Structure 1
Amino acid sequence: MMSNVELQSGRSAMWLEAGEGGESVARFLLRNGKALDALSERLRSSPPKLVITCARGSSDHAATYGKYLIETLLGLPVASAAPSVTSVFSTEFQQTDALLIAISQSGRSPDLLSTVERYKAAGAYVVALVNDESSPLATMADYLLPLCAGAETSVAATKSFIASMAGLAAIAGWWSDDARLRDALDRLPTLLDMAYELDWTPLVGALANASNLFIIGRGYGLSIAQEAALKLKETCGLHAEGFSSAEVRHGPMAIIEEGFPVIAFATSDMSGDDVRAAATEFADRGADVLLADCRAGTSSALPTLTSHALLEPILLIQSFYAAAERLARARGLDPDQPPYLRKVTETR
């Protein structure tokens, strides 16, 4: 059954909303420039010894991206909070001066809120990246960075995920005072619009009748391998698993055989080298490998754009979203209304 947006425009809400990724990032940067200045000054003057991320679903995949950014640019350890520690086990935390970065589209999931509440009570400084500025999470934050993605009606999060990734890149770029990264962020909205128009139809044809596949990335690209796998489950009814190109060699690759589909996201930096190597290894075993290679650009099997290597995963997932929407349709599914799912998941 087609959604109202789909009937009115000929496009699903997922397609339209994902296409607003560039606009969302532009709004985020315009709205939060002064706030990022103030936040980075605070973090440099009173640096935390530990960063903790708190998120679920797609937002947690963005948090993985943030982990790599903060650890590589600032040398600070980043850990992921387990929300059930507070919501199920009612744990009270010891005093800490950690920075807690909470990421959410809705800002309303009870287990996320209970985690933020307990960490804040223990002395953590809370920064919230949240799309709904009226949400409880926005109210709880010591520092609010609105995602500015606008209304997102499709169950599949797209533009809010892109805005979350850009927001984390902005935090890391401002905090580390990385002028090159900040300049690249200014150009990101235009590149996102271009990435959405790239022709990834080979992915649609290769996966139209698939049952299982692997998606691999590494470093900054691991987060989008996880995110792409989730989106294929949600919108296409397709069992996909996201792995690091290093981790996939520790057991999972044993099931790869002739014709097994693999999507590989390779950024232009050294972490992309290992993805390219793994893609070659899997192709030699007969796997049906679809490589999105930021070094190869438009000559890649799945064409890409080259940018600052830290931002290339955002461009890759933007191109993927367009292909995933078309794949859902090719498989006879409505990408806006996956069975059994709701837009706001209120886990406890």
Structure 2
Amino acid sequence: MEQGAKTVDARATLMASEAREAADAVRRLLAANASTLETLGETLRANPPKLVVTCARGSSDHAATYGKYLIETLVGVPVASAAPSVASIFGAPVARGDFLCIAISQSGRSPDLLETVRTQKAAGAHVVALVNDEGSPLAGMADTLIGLKAGPETSVAATKSYIASLAALAAVVAAWSGDAALGEALAALPAGLEQARELNWNAARDALLDARNLFVIGRGYSLGIAQEAALKFKETCGLHAEAFSAAEVRHGPMAIVGEGFPVLGFATSDAAGDSVREAAVEFAGRDARVCLADARAGEAATLPTIAGHPAVEPILMVQSFYLMTNALAVARGFDPDRPQHLRKVTETR
């Protein structure tokens, strides 16, 4: 497990520095894309698609999970995730239809993602690209380009670009649905991120210091954040983690949760969060090592959390999570900026 990185200062890593820039990135994102989002919202209300297809991999695909719940709960249009290999490996065409394609990428350069977007566009989809590199091939293919405005991200582990992707998806849905409460929550998000980055999540760092495996659970708006958390544990901490819905974890996986087994939960303040809270109580009753970010408990939770609009709470949670994970990686002897066997842009085919 040790990689000779014990002398790394957790406060000085690129991962920590870039994660702390998320508030400014979201400010830039919302300001720079205000007109584009308004126009897109008007277009989608006037001609609502029958289906939304998301195209993404890795952290961006976890953002897409978050977007799926936003769109299906606040707009009511079904959302499906495209399997990139269908286009890049199988070369299969897409049946023509009235649908929206949302492509999410930090680099906008992965060949399989680009091929998938090409097939969606050829089938008549309106392509919305959420991309950080606005000079990328993906940006050039977009019918609607939403620049993430995260700025350069050097650490292999994506942080601020992921948070910007979540904010961009929430902004698209707010513009499409006309949901005033979500719009107000987005306007307050940068200030909330500044507050969230100062919250003390040392309880999770300490609980996971000697862990080998853990479950990360969420539900609804927080499921995509649970998926991202599990990935970051693997990437930066050498820690095997699996993400589950608080409902899905009951269908078999929970059988291995017993005394000392680590569980990290992300509970929003809505009914979906109730499911996460119920699972956390059950696991704690088995003497599992449970750490819970609970928006209903707010800053009194085991992992202090900012309460607000349920759709925005997970974005605030992942801001706190990133800084905790960075510290955990260093404490476990890893350099979170230089994970083994990984590079910043993964060009899958």
Q: Distance in 2 between matches of 1:338 and 1:75?
A: 39
| TM-score, normalised relative to structure 1 | 0.97
Question: Residues 252, 41 of structure 1: CA spacing in aligned structure 2 closer, same or farther, 3 A cutoff?
Answer: same
1:237 corresponds to which letter in structure 2?
G
SS at match of 2:309: coil
Q: How does 1:1-348 map to 2 (within 5 A)?
A: 11-348=12-349
1:299-337 deviation line (CA, Å, top 9, x unaligned): 111111111111000000100001000000000100000
Structure number with greater CO (CA < 8 Å, separation at least 6) is 2
Q: Is the 8 A contact 2:4 2:333 kept in 1?
A: no
Q: Distance in 1 between matches of 2:182 and 2:119?
A: 33
Q: Distance in 2 between matches of 1:24 and 1:341?
A: 25
How many pairs are equivalent?
345
1:2-38 deviation line (CA, Å, top 9, x unaligned): 99xx78x951000000001111111000000000011
Q: Is the 8 A contact 2:330 2:336 kept in 1?
A: yes
- Give the deviation of 1:257 after TM superposition: 1.2
SS at match of 2:265: strand
Q: Distance in 2 between matches of 1:40 and 1:116?
A: 21
Q: Distance in 2 between matches of 1:188 and 1:113?
A: 31
Off by >6 Å, runs of 4+ in structure 1: none
Q: Distance in 2 between matches of 1:233 and 1:2?
A: 18
Segments of structure 2 that go 5 or more residues without pairing to the other structure are: none
1:173-204 deviation line (CA, Å, top 9, x unaligned): 11000111101100000000110110000111
Q: Distance in 2 between matches of 1:157 and 1:97?
A: 33
2:187 corresponds to which letter in structure 1?
D
1:84-120 deviation line (CA, Å, top 9, x unaligned): 0000000111211210000000000000000000110
1:161 corresponds to which letter in structure 2?
Y
1:44-82 deviation line (CA, Å, top 9, x unaligned): 111110000000000000000000000000110000000
Q: Distance in 1 between matches of 2:30 and 2:235?
A: 29
Q: Distance in 1 between matches of 2:128 and 2:14?
A: 29
SS at match of 1:36: helix
1:138 corresponds to which letter in structure 2?
A
Question: Residues 125, 2 of structure 1: CA spacing in aligned structure 2 closer, same or farther, 3 A cutoff?
Answer: farther
Q: Distance in 1 between matches of 2:71 and 2:298?
A: 27
Q: Distance in 1 between matches of 2:283 and 2:204?
A: 17
Segments of structure 1 that go 5 or more residues without pairing to the other structure are: none
Q: Distance in 1 between matches of 2:4 and 2:128?
A: 38
| TM-score, normalised relative to structure 2 | 0.97
Q: Distance in 2 between matches of 1:47 and 1:186?
A: 25
Q: Is the 8 A contact 2:264 2:291 kept in 1?
A: yes
